[in-house]
Amino acid sequence: MGLAIQAPSNTGPVKVAAALIYKGRVLATGTNQYKTHPLMMTRGYREDQNWRHAEVDCIQNARKIMTKEQMARCELRVVRAKRPSGESKEWILGLAKPCPGCSQVIRDHGITNVTWTEDADVLDEYSVDLYES
């Protein structure tokens, strides 16, 4: 969740990050970006989804260092951090299930082990206060 909250490209009340993990080791990460990538244009994304999603950013970063065959042996974890209300300083987990376009990109790269966060209805042990000293 820390990557999602602290990423400079993630501005606003909802932040998403993804990590490609092999045997407990993070090999590549990605966050939502306010820019596009060709992977986003051909995979069934809605017109209003043309920013790069964290899953695609992570896969694009992974493509620089590994093959599709290597990616297929990894787990993709997707995390969404959100504010429970507009004025809150707390962060809680939100639903980060990949959208249909991201799901297609993930399948195209042979990744079958995908996990994501679910909505947290109340502040609990997953909340983080960035303003605590």
* Residue 9, domain CATH: 3.40.140.10
For residue 92, is it within any domain?
no
The residue among 130 and 71 whose pLDDT is bigger is 71
Number of separate domains in the chain: 1
Residue-level pLDDT at 91: 82
Q: Is residue 125 part of a domain?
A: no
Domain range for 31: 2-80+97-118
Quick one: pLDDT at residue 43?
A: 57
Give mean pLDDT, residues 31-50: 63
- Higher per-residue pLDDT: 25 or 82: 25
pTM: 0.77
- Is residue 128, in this structure, part of any structural domain at all? no
74 belongs to a structural domain: yes
Across residues 122-132, what is the average pLDDT? 40
Q: Are 92 and 126 in contact (CB under 8 A)?
A: yes
Mean pLDDT of 92-98: 90
pLDDT of residue 126: 42
